[in-house]
């Protein structure tokens, strides 16, 4: 099992199976779902048992191990061809989170060079991806905290913590490091409709760490920024285009606009595996449309009139010009643009 020094562990490999903390049940119940097949794993990713781009990538890597085990048992001579269908299934499960594609491609590169039973070699690679993600988060935490300056409050959106990564977190990694250094006095947390990841997950993580936390409705964020108490907005990302445009949880874009209007700095924290140089700008990023029921119902009860039509994008795109700092494990880009991102990706 990967050593995660945090209170929260979203992903683990135990007794030859993938176990995911079912984030749909938090904060009331902390229950792991045990997955033995790639079909089960892809369904868990699609249905938000695990979410957050880095965590999805780690889960996908372990899912490839499950697929390889089954395909090798099915046909030791042709398993490398048969597994292509499983890799495609994983990639299609959440189209916006580029870390998923990145992890599957990395595992596919290992598959191409294997002979004999693949399970242990692929498990080693998946564990490596997991460990690297935790180390990257720790590094980003240090780099982001160094930007905070004078002590004050910060605002975050959705969940970019240990639950969304291999461990420690991206945006919450910076917040954890900043709080430990005495640079953050309070964290304001958007509730994050419609799945309430901020209320259910981020607030839960911060309470576990005893970091002072205040929850607010998404629609209250601009009013909060106007009061002048918040010094930074700190968020994660699901995909970053070559020019620095950022796809993140729906609601991030209008938060960035409000931050710029009120003179509050805006920080995006994400590993370089989230950067997609094949996407020239944010307009090319595929935006996942989710089920209408997520808006029409809350807690299993209807909250809208029958027949109401729904537009339910899971993500939006924040233009690079609204980002003051992009923090990666390879370094920081202030006012990120295509030149800075290309330089970061060369390391």
Query: Would you state the CATH architecture of domain 138-346?
Result: 3-Layer(aba) Sandwich (3.40)
Given CA atoms 7, 13, 15, 19 in this order, what sign does their dihedral have?
positive
Per residue in 253-299, pLDDT tens? 999 999 999 999 999 999 998 999 999 999 999 999 999 999 999 88
Would you place residue 190 in the very low, low, confident or very high pLDDT band (cuts 50, 70, 90)? Answer: very high
SS3 readout for 62-78: HHHHHHHHHHHHHCCCC
CATH code reported for the domain at 11-136? 1.20.120.420
- What is the rounded distance in angstroms from the CA atom of residue 4 to the CA atom of residue 19? 15
Which residues participate in catalysis according to the annotation? 238
3-state secondary structure of 238: coil
Where residue 233 falls among pLDDT bands split at 50, 70, 90?
very high
- The tens digit of pLDDT for each residue in 25-61 reads 999 999 999 999 999 999 999 999 999 889 999 999 9
Chain-centre distance for alpha carbon 119 = 26
pLDDT exceeds cutoff 60 at 6: no
Domain assignments of the chain as residue spans, ordered by start: 11-136, 138-346
pTM: 0.89
Estimate the crossing angle of helix 38-46 against helix 53-74, to 10 degrees.
160
Per-residue pLDDT band at 219 (split at 50, 70, 90)? very high
- Residue 259's pLDDT is 98
Tens of pLDDT, residue by residue over 53-82, are 899 999 999 999 999 999 999 999 999 999
pLDDT tens for residues 143-167?
Answer: 999 999 999 999 999 999 999 999 9
Are 170 and 325 within 8 A, CB to CB?
no
């Amino acid at each position: 099992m990967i050593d995660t020094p945090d209170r929260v562990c979203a992903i683990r490999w135990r007794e030859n199976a993938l176990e995911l903390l079912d984030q749909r049940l938090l904060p009331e119940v902390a229950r792991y779902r045990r997955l033995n097949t790639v079909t089960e794993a892809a369904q868990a990713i699609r249905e938000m048992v695990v979410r957050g781009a880095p965590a999805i990538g780690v889960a996908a890597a372990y899912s490839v191990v499950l697929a390889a085990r089954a395909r090798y048992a099915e046909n030791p001579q042709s398993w490398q061809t048969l597994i292509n269908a499983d890799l495609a299934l994983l990639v299609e499960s959440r189209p916006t989170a580029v870390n998923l594609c990145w992890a599957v491609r990395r595992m596919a590169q290992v598959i191409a060079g294997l002979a004999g039973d693949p399970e242990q070699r692929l498990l080693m690679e998946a564990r490596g991806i997991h460990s690297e993600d935790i180390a990257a988060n720790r590094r980003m935490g240090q780099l982001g905290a160094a930007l905070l300056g004078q002590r004050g409050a910060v605002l975050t959106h959705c969940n970019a913590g240990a639950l969304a990564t291999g461990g420690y977190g991206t945006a919450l990694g910076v917040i954890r490091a900043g709080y430990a250094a005495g640079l953050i006095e309070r964290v304001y947390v958007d509730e994050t409709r419609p799945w309430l990841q901020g209320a259910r997950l981020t607030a839960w993580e911060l309470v576990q760490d005893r970091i002072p936390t205040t929850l607010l409705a998404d629609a209250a964020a601009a009013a909060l920024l106007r009061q002048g108490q918040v010094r930074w907005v700190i968020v994660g990302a699901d995909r970053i285009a070559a020019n620095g445009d950022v796809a993140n949880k729906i609601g991030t874009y209008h938060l960035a606009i409000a931050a710029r209007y009120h003179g509050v700095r805006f920080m995006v924290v994400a590993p370089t595996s989230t950067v997609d140089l094949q996407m020239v700008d944010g307009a090319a990023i595929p935006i996942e449309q989710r089920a209408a029921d997520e808006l029409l119902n809350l807690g299993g009860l209807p909250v809208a009139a029958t027949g109401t039509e729904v537009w339910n994008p899971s993500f939006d795109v924040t233009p690079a010009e609204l980002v003051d700092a992009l923090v990666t494990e390879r370094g920081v880009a202030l006012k990120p643009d295509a030149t800075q991102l290309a330089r970061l990706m060369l390391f």
